[in-house]
Amino acid sequence: DVKVTQSSRYLVKRTGEKVFLECVQDMDHENMFWYRQDPGLGLRLIYFSYDVKMKEKGDIPEGYSVSREKKERFSLILESASTNQTSMYLCASRGSAGTGGEQFFGPGTRLTVL
Amino acid sequence: AQSVTQLDSQVPVFEEAPVELRCNYSSSVSVYLFWYVQYPNQGLQLLLKYLSGSTLVKGINGFEAEFNKSQTSFHLRKPSVHISDTAEYFCAVSDHHQAGTALIFGKGTTLSVSS
C-alpha cells in the first residue's frame, strides 16, 4: 500500500517558534508538494519540489521555507511561527511526467500557533 | 492559466437521493481531471480520474463522473448517497503536457447527507 506520511497529526506551537513539518513518501516520486488548507479557501500551494535539492514557490510561500535533501523526504519550515499560520498542512507526492497520475496525500498536520 | 470552479460550496441531500457535484475548468490545452474526497481530519483520497479514453469514468464508492470537453465540465454523480458519503469533495485539473506539476484544485464542495 503506497503511503505518504506526515510526522505529526496535531501540533501546538507558540508565536515565534521555529516549526518543522516532515513528510515522507515511499513511492519513489520525483515531485512533492506542501499545501495549506483553510475553510472557504480550499487548498493553497505553498512550495513544491521536482527533484532533490530543487524547490519552487507556490502561491503563498511567504513565511515558509522547504528542504529536500533526500528524494523521499520533503520538509516544511516555519522560521518564526505566527498565529495566521494556524492551519491544516497537507503534503502530497506525484510521479514524473508521462505517468499522468494523481497526487497522493498524507493525513495532514493540524497546526495551532498560540 | 488553469483554474477550477466548483459551482456549489455546500450540497445538502437526503439519504438514498441522487447527487451531482458540479465542476468546471478552464484550460487551453488537453487536461487530466480528478475528483478527491476528504473526510473530517483526514487527507485527500482519490475518488476517480480522467486521463483519456471513455468520457464516463467510474470511481470508488459508487461515484462516477463525465468529462465534457465542449462544456469544460467534469461533474461528479452518485445515484443513491449514504450517510457515510458526508465529506468535502474537491475537483482538480492538471495540464496534460505538464503531468509532473501540481494539480490545480477547486475550493471544494461540502456534501451533507441526512436521514
Contact A100 B32 (CB under 8 A): yes
Inside any domain, residue A114: no
Looking at the partner chain, which of B51, B102, B105 has a beta carbon nearest the beta carbon of A48? B102
Tally the domains of chain A.
Answer: 1
Q: What is the CATH number of the domain that holds A28?
A: 2.60.40.10
Domain that holds residue A48: 4-96+103-109
CA-wise closest residue to B11 among B112, B89, B114:
B112
Tally the domains of chain B.
Answer: 1
Cβ contacts of B50 within 8 Å, gap of 6 or more: B32, B33, B34, B57, B65, B67, B74
Inside any domain, residue A79: yes
Q: What is the CATH number of the domain that holds B39?
A: 2.60.40.10
What grid cell was written down for B87?
465529506
Domain that holds residue B32: 3-114
Tell me the average confidence (pLDDT) per consecutive run of 10 residues in chain A, 114 residues long.
88 97 94 93 92 92 97 97 97 78 91 98
> Which 50-109 residues of chain B touch chain A by CB within 8 A?
51, 90, 92, 96-103, 105-108
Residue B47's pLDDT is what?
96
Inside any domain, residue A9: yes
Convert the pLDDT of each residue in B21-70 to its tens digit: 999 999 777 788 999 999 988 899 999 999 888 899 999 999 999 999 99
Inside any domain, residue A26: yes
Q: Is B10 on the interface with A (CB under 8 A)?
A: no
Inside any domain, residue A27: yes
